[in-house]
Structure 1
């Protein structure tokens, strides 16, 4: 049995990929494929695993919880093997870190290596393949902030520090950390485009073309709201019109139709600098400049048609 780990990153079509796999689990099961997504990985045990493992030997409760979570995951992997699964796809973007931590430090996934080394112990064997998408820096930071504004107040930031932080620790450093944390896994990466073919193409590489061709094109989920829509959502929240998850989902679905410019955290000069930096670094990544990291284009090489 082969284990495939997809770790995002945030704002690169992860939710769309997860929704597509979740919605077609019956088809996947017939082809001996299982999907473990947020419904499993955001339960209390896995959610707390990083913190529990870092708590130290003196915290006996945390140590016991971590051991129990690890044992449960190992048992589930054995269960999948006994049920003749040929492939298990695990998808969780928070394994790398959180958007909040990125903004707090003005750089990308500062604890990525340590977190992945910890989460890797949930599995009895290393994943055969690990998938990570990357995105233009200006778009990533702006989209991440827009997502925060959808649920709560935005995160504090300094745009100059974000520009400097992206240069100091960007995608090459994150990918190098992934490779270091998972030395026995193939690391596969692609460049986010936002087009539906990107998601299905990436899945074709993960689960195989023959199976992926039966899946529909996936629309990108959690698309950023416009500035006007975010302002209206904030007004409704302040007025008490949006308080429950259901009310928030309904409001977002309605406001998504409202046009207008998207949130931008950077000046034109800063955006140009970030785009130039990203393009230069993508050339490095795509050219094999990060040891053991393989770049691919889902739309060009793995896009499939029914």
Structure 2
């Protein structure tokens, strides 16, 4: 049985993909494709894999036992390919905001998942997004959930930080050395979970009737209302655009340049560590990223509000 981990770094793409999978269960069943999403992984299956309150080696061993038991059960039921999709495997936006860095502990986290799956991971599919849009989304997400707005110098630390997707990808590749690492840019699958399905499995799934954008980040107006409701100054959310842009033009340009460097590195072969997806339905041509989706908002998984690990 082939095991594929999907570790998208953005909520709207990951949540839309998971909903697409659940909606087309008949398609999955006839092709003997199984699926573990957050509704399963966050109800005890993955408990103990990552260290936490009361966790330790004993909890990790129990988690490994649960995972292997369920893998064996899926294989006995005739599953040929198992998709496991949960963005919290990669880490959380809140942790990134606290550290002002991009998934700094992803190597340790993914190594623990590799141990829990006992070498059964064949492929890791990772979604990446333009850094300026990722960090703007992360900032909006955290502010909407009670975090204070970063000071200007803290925003600069984020924007000009040394870590980019290249570092994250390298850490994942080192943590799961036996797996193939596949990178799917958000801009090529934005609003199109069928394209993400193709990027993850290599198969053409049922077509979307329309673009799917689930759990997008709050608008600037909605964020101002959130601040006003909790007694903070709504004027801290500036601008009239629908999406809040907390970074100044210089910081935004720096993050865009860093992302394009990452894409060029991936296009050149990523030092043999990862493979960049190419044609996913011609949303963008060849190696040039389309401009339209870059202006779209970032969504968030509503399941995280209920079941996500502490970030």
State the TM-score, normalized to the length of structure 1: 0.80
Residue range with higher mean Cα deviation, 171-180 or 272-281: 272-281
Match of 2:108 in 1: 114
**Counterpart pick for 1:294 among 275, 296, 307:** 275
| Distance of 1:260 and 1:302 partners within structure 2 | 25
The correspondence of residues 24-173 of structure 1 with structure 2, limited to 5 A, is 24-44=24-44, 46-51=46-51, 62-154=56-148, 156=150, 158-165=154-161, 168-173=162-167
The answer on whether the counterparts of 2:89 and 2:109 sit within 8 Å (CA) in structure 1 is yes
1:154/1:10 Cα in 2 relative to 1: closer, same or farther (>3 Å)? farther
| Distance of 1:144 and 1:172 partners within structure 2 | 19
Aligned to 2:108, the other structure's residue is in SS state: helix
Match of 1:23 in 2: 23
For the pair 1:265 / 2:261, whether they are aligned, the reply is: no
Unaligned residue ranges in structure 2 (runs of 5+):
233-239, 285-311
Match of 1:248 in 2: none
**Which structure ranks higher in relative contact order (CA pairs < 8 Å, sequence separation ≥ 6)?**
2
Provide the aligned C-alpha RMSD in A: 2.7
Aligned to 2:46, the other structure's residue is in SS state: helix
| Distance of 1:139 and 1:47 partners within structure 2 | 31
Q: Deviations over 1:38-79 (max 9, x none)?
A: 011112452442115xx8xxx7x7433322221111010000
Question: If each structure's helix is expressed as a fraction of its own residues, which one has the higher value?
Answer: 1
| Distance of 2:128 and 2:270 partners within structure 1 | 15
1:51/1:222 Cα in 2 relative to 1: closer, same or farther (>3 Å)? same
Match of 2:6 in 1: 6
1:264/1:25 Cα in 2 relative to 1: closer, same or farther (>3 Å)? same
The answer on whether the counterparts of 1:196 and 1:217 sit within 8 Å (CA) in structure 2 is no
The count of corresponding residues between Structure 1 and Structure 2 is 275
How far did 1:121 drift? 1.7
| Distance of 2:273 and 2:283 partners within structure 1 | 20
Q: Deviations over 1:4-52 (max 9, x none)?
A: 1101113461111111112222431232111101011112452442115
Aligned to 1:299, the other structure's residue is in SS state: coil
Unaligned residue ranges in structure 1 (runs of 5+):
240-258
| Distance of 1:154 and 1:225 partners within structure 2 | 16
How far did 1:122 drift? 1.9
The answer on whether the counterparts of 2:188 and 2:280 sit within 8 Å (CA) in structure 1 is no
The answer on whether the counterparts of 1:133 and 1:191 sit within 8 Å (CA) in structure 2 is yes
| Distance of 2:150 and 2:47 partners within structure 1 | 24
The answer on whether the counterparts of 2:180 and 2:274 sit within 8 Å (CA) in structure 1 is yes
| Distance of 2:176 and 2:189 partners within structure 1 | 29
The answer on whether the counterparts of 2:126 and 2:182 sit within 8 Å (CA) in structure 1 is yes
The answer on whether the counterparts of 1:8 and 1:133 sit within 8 Å (CA) in structure 2 is yes
